[in-house]
Structure 1
């Protein structure tokens, strides 16, 4: 029998080789037909080894459209019979720049000042009323409610927007179902007069259905000249003038093939940026791909860019169709998924992955790039829906997306060529059971589950039969346990379980010998990693940030020789049972980088142990949280100050958060040497009576002070001015650094929250002026929340010309002084254009708003968590 099996296997392999050779012959014929060259070999200078990228081209030819839209947004009258609604449809074919136009208006400074709140929702097709309602609430409050009843959600929407002038963007609407639209519109009618809804759509029928045809803005195609301008600024980037002049004739002809679509002009400009010689430009201009009958006409420019990619880049790009349309794509996640599929090398430093991503960016396959503001690196992106359609066309039947909208719906059988499956689970849907009789589970390599709601009905059998999976992502799906039989997925390399309800993982996870990435971020109840984690010898990345209940790290981590990333370091109380920080030096490839959360700093035994963390030499950490841990008893914090002093980070640090520190002073000597700090947060430092002086930090933009229960007075020392006693005269003022003329020079946002004992905030305008100081010249927002005893604001606020927003919530004494023109603090703040008391404006755009401010529910801006970046990463 064994011999027969071997003969059969060889016969099968022979047939596969024959089929493969046939495919290669077909590709070679196609290459000859379309005159495609292996440019990376023939022209080695063409493939630029660079980490730079091209920003989105400036908008061209839409000046009149943007002015019309702004005028409609900023006018006070309403078309919906005074119901608080004004609907403005933006209509045009795909690729015309509808979303870009609306984004420009959405972020316009006048629009920012005009509306109380702005909400952005991508609707897409199909139109899901529950999904849209949840997205509106999530954009306002920071998270979506875990309910699926439409009436309940509409009541919540009404509560969120009632009495407020809002701007709602509904991007990419397709439905012509008037009933669904009327249902959505009902709660929105309770916004204030002047509220606007902007809808982008490809179909004029949608605008007519909404009854807003008279307000419609129809985008026309761009002129050839405007397409040329978009093309030119990309294609001629960093070229010499003489070279540009030689190529202009060909460039204008190529740009004319954009047919008025800025998306295509941008794609072509990005393509030609990589073409060096005149011959290459001529080849593109006269390529047979422009006349191909096998694809949609709009895909032809993308085909040119696609064929210009290397083989690995082609695979990586087409794989991106696994993400749903308008899905946010995190760069590091995407690169790790590519590696799990074997498309790129899984080397320790990910250089190949980063280069591939950057090249796709430079060729305009990605858009809506979001960058880290501290180093300008891209952290994520989206794909235009036309580009997404193109990626789906390339992947044909390999990448399959299924929408499951019926409770316990069985999945339809997959094509035998399917390799990557995306499940989009609707709001009222339980997770489906796979019909393995109809599914060739041996072929599937990726399962990516996208859920619109948190549910507790995930069935472990969803993926257990898919034993050839390399990539498994199940995010926010209410998963409470993983079955022991997870170890059947022996090929699994990428396992993402973010935002689930897991408390632990089964020990059998440690049998996944090929696993490279384990992502548990945002599993708030997660307590422990399995003891046998050291068996995962290929594991490179462990993400456990925002796992608040994590008790410690298992000792087996010290055996993970390939480990590169570990975003949470837990210093356990009972060290003998957990990973010892001193063992970090045994991990040769490990680097502290990115966002790092150190939990349990109080359990560091001494200064020497704190030094073992190596924070001082970790130049690639840009965000650091030092959490000393919640005290179980009111003792044991005597050494907090010495430990904090020893936890000195590298001077490259951008964000610093210190939590639950119980020393008497939260001003370590190293803090003022961190000249790159842009954000500082202090929380739960209950024994500190004095706030640290950070006014000399040249780049500090945001300063949060939360739950500092012992602070009673914030004096001039907060500004960096100290008092000295003198026998012959009154108290005099001095500065520790007389060279400094501006205190907190870049600070834009200052927030105080939960300062229960805080009574006085001193800061004499005369004192600072006499010493030649300018205080907080860039301050734009000041927020004071739950400071019940605070009774006055500092005098230096009178001179603050940059301050645009003052918000005072649940601070009863101060509220009485600020809610009307007769309050004793009004003279200090009357110049501030926007003043909110208890979530209602008493002054808006410089105009006094009479009446009782009352009380309403807080908005999402107060739900900011120091560590929120971890979930976004």
Structure 2
């Protein structure tokens, strides 16, 4: 049928050569089959590229050039396939738009490549099929040429792979050449000698030194091994260079030889026999065993040794050095020491001792030398390598040239400094190698947003899907493995409930290494530096704009860019023109990061049909979106600092998985359009704003109905705009089983009478059915006269760990309803109330006067006739209690203050409570004196159970915050609660949410 229609169509074209017409017909009809073949070729080429890298098979320049050509074709193939699939998605969206409007009906795109069947949309499909067909034909011709070249030049990747040399370490060390590390020498040494914090519970304890390659783990182990106290303390010392792979028999033989140097030849390959010999040899000895350079994460390989090394003598020590946190865990470490970098002065000492042979050289080269030493960023191996490099260079010009160079551009640097990093790099699977090397596009000393980097990896297509696993879970796994291998550092944790890494940095040398591994693909152009970019191979570009920068026309030839990171602090630069030109030329972009002061995205953004990740940073400000933005149907992540409103056609972004905002203001007033509920693929929605009647109706709460894949934390703003209780039912929050955090935010009344508002707020909260797996809940500003009308459900949430309630000005009294107890005579029927709650906060409840204990008045608790408390178990895991801005509250119930795990109490700007519980003068100080950490009125009065007395200038580091000083206003920031990625800071005017990263 298709053949007939196409032939008829071409007959109408008049006198076109018959042969050419047949070729075109065959091309159009066969596109579907060619697309499928192309998919197969893409997979084959990817496997070939990965295999060549993993085998380190590239030897000659011809081989390298050939692989670069193949890599370029891989990208081109991927772009063609994505173009085809994008057209299919757009056709489905257009078809869906032709149906009667239903704002809550999701757009469903079939998960297959559609065949060409002539239809009313034929005119749209024909040009596409023609273009794709020709692109595939040209691509196949290029591939044929590339593979012919492989045969012509005799390129062979099937030879034996290179083995990356892993240096064998020994216990010998020249102590006079060691600088710094004094703090690291003492603690491990004390623990090794049995005078540290380790408890002697086994015959031996494992201590691990973990850190980046070249940071000095082996050197510290050598220092400990050769220390005279260690030599005297242990009956036997053993040094084993384990390296990779972890060969059990070889390791066992090495231990035997160390214990008994006179032992004869060890030809036995039976592990059981070897381990038995080890056990017999150390049976009555207190030993010190160093296992240097451990890589294995397989606990089964170490398990037999754990048993064989046990004996009847306590106090033995095993010291492990490794780059991998997981390896330390596998070895059963009871103490893990993460090595930090050296000081600049220590680096200078190492560098100068190697680089200078006499004092005269030191005089005129010291200034440059110190700058070079600081370039090492505290890495001892870098200082040694650079020092060796400079030994034979004596002119200031030579030294300045090296100072101005990238580390990876220096001669012999790969063999010296980068060699340890290459070992770690090649140990990674190919997908993680690409994730790591993609960090090269970010500047040095960049504070990475964890989520932004992970979503960038997703946008680039680096994440391989796995059955029954979400992409977000897989990419989290990638990040954790890279972090545990010491590729990242300076981790910053802002999550109040969990130690979740939200930002981090990369060591400069590691960044240099990432640049080295991507030097033909990743480029950076900073300010007024000369534009140097290989337009054919460039895939990732960071461009920093300055006023002095010359014409940018040359970069537009890099049409295959997949990442563009555009940044500038210039306020009067023509960014509109720059962006418009960029969007016309860089049509292959997968990731776009904008960190420059623009006001509006140009209409041409719709050209970026392959775009997966758009990150608009703080420097941009409130950006305006054109409606053409909604044509980016492949977009997965949209991360915005702030904007006034989202475009009306947002529902067309059917592949959107993450939509998040970072606004400076407490109330993010971005207007959400109708139809947002169609985006059923959303996994992350940081905030959802309910529309009001002023401008247009906007979103209703019911739009959340079908967004059941949401995870993380959701902030729902403008809850006061829910005027129909049915909307609360329609939201179906109970079906959001992946949500872990929820914030319900009410704003000031707008137009309605206060009594009406009070009644409505209560009805809305009563109608909401909370997600069952919540761990964090925040409620702000509702006008009801009770804490929460649906608390029976709340108190029974099995996973709730953080509860944060504030701004409820109509609440005067809190009683059993807070615990969800409706019948005070049958409390024992309620089981455990708030079984997992760890943190409880009440903020700015200005009219709150009474908090009644269970069934009693004031602080009394109910007892039966025998004097036994009959109350249910309440908050057995509560650790932190904060009361702030509750000026009229008189007392706290005993069931809170006697919670068995309560260790932190903060009372701030709550005058009556502060007086009643004040140390020394308060009538109820005895009721809280057992709590280990107490802050009253912004002053720390007790830490770890010890009283604190402050002078006017005293400062102290403690668990209440990074630093607490004796100032009247210090407490406002001390009691902080994080809602996902935001920190809440309270002030006189009430709570304010701000970006934690600031």
> 1:872 and 1:312 mapped to 2: Cα distance?
31
Distance 2:551 2:855 in 1: 68
Aligned to 1:612: 730
- CA distance, structure 2, for counterparts of residue 573 and residue 97 of structure 1: 61
| Matches for 1:153-552 after TM superposition, within 5 Å | 228=291, 231=294, 234-239=296-301, 241-242=303-304, 264=323, 295-344=414-463, 349-350=470-471, 352-361=474-483, 364-366=486-488, 382-404=505-527, 409=528, 412-416=531-535, 417-423=537-543, 435-438=552-555, 440-449=557-566, 459-466=575-582, 467-474=586-593, 477-499=596-618, 500-502=620-622, 504-520=624-640, 522-523=641-642, 526-544=643-661, 546=663, 548-552=667-671
Residue of structure 2 equivalent to 1:833: 947
Change (3 A) 1:438 1:389: closer
Secondary structure of 1:531's counterpart equals coil
Q: Cα offset for 1:293?
A: 7.7
Query: Residue 454 and residue 461 in structure 1: after superposition, are their counterparts in 2 closer, same or farther (change >3 A)?
Result: closer
Given the superposition, is the C-alpha separation of residues 269 and 293 from structure 1 closer, same or farther in structure 2, using an over 3 Å criterion?
farther
Judge conservation of contact 2:734–2:770 (CA < 8 Å) in 1: yes
Work out whether 1:657 is the aligned partner of 2:720. Answer: no
- How big is each residue's C-alpha offset from its partner over 1:409-442, in whole Å with a ceiling of 9 and x where there is no partner? 46623232322123468xxx77967612355331
- d(CA) in 1 for partners of 2:135, 2:897: 85
Shift of 1:596: 0.6
Aligned mates of 2:652, 2:896 — CA distance in 1? 60
> Who is 1:686 aligned against?
809
Q: How does 1:96-115 map to 2 (within 5 A)?
A: 96=216
Residue 697 (1) aligns with residue 697 (2) = no
| Residues 148-189 of structure 1, C-alpha deviations (whole Å, 9 max, x = no match) | xxxxxxxxxxxxxxxxxxxxxxxxxxxxxxxxxxxxxxxxxx
- Seen in structure 2, the aligned counterparts of structure 1 residues 793 and 341 have a Cα distance that, compared at 3 Å, is same
In the alignment, what sits opposite 1:593?
711
CA distance in 2, matches of 1:268, 1:298: 23
What CA deviation, in whole Å up to 9, does each residue of 1:581-617 have, x standing for no partner? 4454556xx5122111112223334444212222223
CA 1:352/1:775 → structure 2, altered by over 3 Å: closer, same or farther? closer
- Matching residue of 1:555: 674
Secondary structure (helix, strand or coil) at the match of 1:761 reads coil
Range 633-642 or range 353-362, more displaced: 353-362
2:455–2:613 CA contact under 8 A, matched in 1: yes
Matched, 1:95 2:208: no
The structural deviation recorded for 1:402 is 4.1
Question: Is the 1:741–1:774 contact (alpha carbons within 8 Å) kept by the matching residues of 2?
Answer: no
Q: Deviations over 1:459-496 (max 9, x none)?
A: 23444333235244546644433233333433322111
Q: Verify: 1:754 aligned to 2:882, yes or no.
A: no
Aligned equivalents of 1:385 and 1:510: distance in 2? Answer: 39
For residues 542 and 465 of structure 1, do their structure 2 counterparts lie closer, same or farther at Cα, with a shift above 3 Å needed?
same
On the 8 A contact 1:431/1:459 being kept in 2, the answer is no
Inter-partner Cα distance in structure 1 for 2:638 and 2:699: 18
Q: What's the secondary structure of 2:524's corresponding residue?
A: strand
Pair 229,557 (structure 1): closer, same or farther in 2 beyond 3 Å:
same
| Counterpart secondary structure, 1:637 | helix
Contact 2:294 2:322 in 1 (8 A): no
1:650 deviates by: 3.0
Contact 2:714 2:743 in 1 (8 A): yes
Shift of 1:265: 7.5
Instruction: Report the alpha carbon displacement of residue 445 of structure 1 after superposing the two structures with TM.
Output: 1.7
Alpha-carbon distance in 2 for matches of 1:367, 1:778: 32
Can you list the C-alpha shifts for 1:674-708, whole angstroms capped at 9, x where unaligned? 24222222222111113574695343333322221
Aligned to 2:974: 861
Alpha-carbon distance, 1:555 to partner: 1.9
CA distance in 1, matches of 2:740, 2:935: 29
For the residue of structure 1 that corresponds to 2:456, the secondary structure is helix
Deviations 1:29-50 (A, max 9, x none): 466343579xxxxxxxxxxxxx
Q: Are 2:672 and 2:698, in contact at CA under 8 Å, matched by a contact in 1?
A: yes
Larger radius of gyration: 2
Determine the structure 1 residue equivalent to 2:930. 801
Q: CA deviation at 1:344?
A: 3.2
Deviation at 1:538, TM superposition (A): 3.0
Match of 1:180 in 2: none
Is the 2:492–2:503 contact (alpha carbons within 8 Å) kept by the matching residues of 1? Answer: yes
Q: Is the 8 A contact 2:456 2:591 kept in 1?
A: no
Q: State whether residues 292 and 320 of structure 2, in contact with CA within 8 Å, keep that contact through their aligned partners in structure 1.
A: no
Equivalent pair of 1:411/1:435 in contact (CA under 8 Å)? no
- 1:437 and 1:424 mapped to 2: Cα distance? 15
Q: TM-score, normalised by structure 1?
A: 0.59
Deviation at 1:340, TM superposition (A): 2.0
Deviation at 1:243, TM superposition (A): 7.4
Quick one: structure 1 residues 442 and 746, their matched pair in 2 at CA, closer, same or farther if it must change by over 3 Å? Answer: same
After superposition, the Cα gap between the structure-2 partners of 1:511 and 1:618, relative to the gap in structure 1 and judged at 3 Å, is closer
Of 28, 34, 38, the match for 2:161: 34
Structure 1 stretch displaced more, 676-685 or 554-563:
554-563
Deviation of residue 316 (structure 1)? 2.5
Instruction: Describe the SS at the equivalent of 2:675.
Output: helix
2:53 corresponding residue in structure 1 = none
Give unmatched runs, 5+ long, in structure 1. Answer: 38-59, 70-91, 102-223, 248-259, 274-291, 725-730, 810-814, 819-825, 846-851
Contact 1:720 1:735 in 2 (8 A): no
1:379 deviates by 5.6
Provide closer, same or farther for how the CA distance between residues 330 and 865 of structure 1 changes in structure 2, counting only shifts above 3 A: closer
Task: Name the SS of the counterpart of 1:610 in structure 2.
Answer: helix
Q: Counterparts of 2:863 and 2:724 in 1: how far apart (Å)? A: 34
Offset of residue 268 of structure 1: 9.0
1:714 and 1:319 mapped to 2: Cα distance? Answer: 57
Counterparts of 2:957 and 2:657, CA distance in 1: 52
1:738: Cα distance to partner? 4.0
Aligned residues of 1:313 and 1:356 also touching (Cα < 8 A): yes
Equivalent residue number for residue 206 of structure 1: none
Matched residues in 2 for 1:272 and 1:844: separation?
A: 33
Alpha-carbon spacing, 1:710–1:7, altered in 2? closer, same or farther (3 Å): closer
| CA drift at 1:659 | 0.8
1:710 partner SS: coil
> What is the alpha-carbon root mean square deviation over aligned residues?
5.3
CA spacing shift, 1:430–1:617, aligned 2, 3 Å:
farther
Q: CA deviation at 1:624?
A: 0.7
Q: Which residue of 1 aligns with 2:692?
A: 573
Task: Tell me the TM-score normalized by structure 2.
Answer: 0.53
Corresponding residue SS for 1:573: coil
Q: 566-575 or 740-749: which moved more?
A: 740-749
Greater displacement, 496-505 / 578-587: 578-587
1:381 Cα deviation after fit: 5.2
Larger helix proportion of the pair: 2
Q: 1:782 to 1:613 in 2, by over 3 A?
A: same
Gaps of at least 5 residues in structure 2 are 1-15, 21-130, 165-180, 191-211, 222-286, 310-318, 333-410, 820-831, 918-922, 959-964, 984-994
Q: 1:377 to 1:788 in 2, by over 3 A?
A: closer
Corresponding residue of 2:856:
722
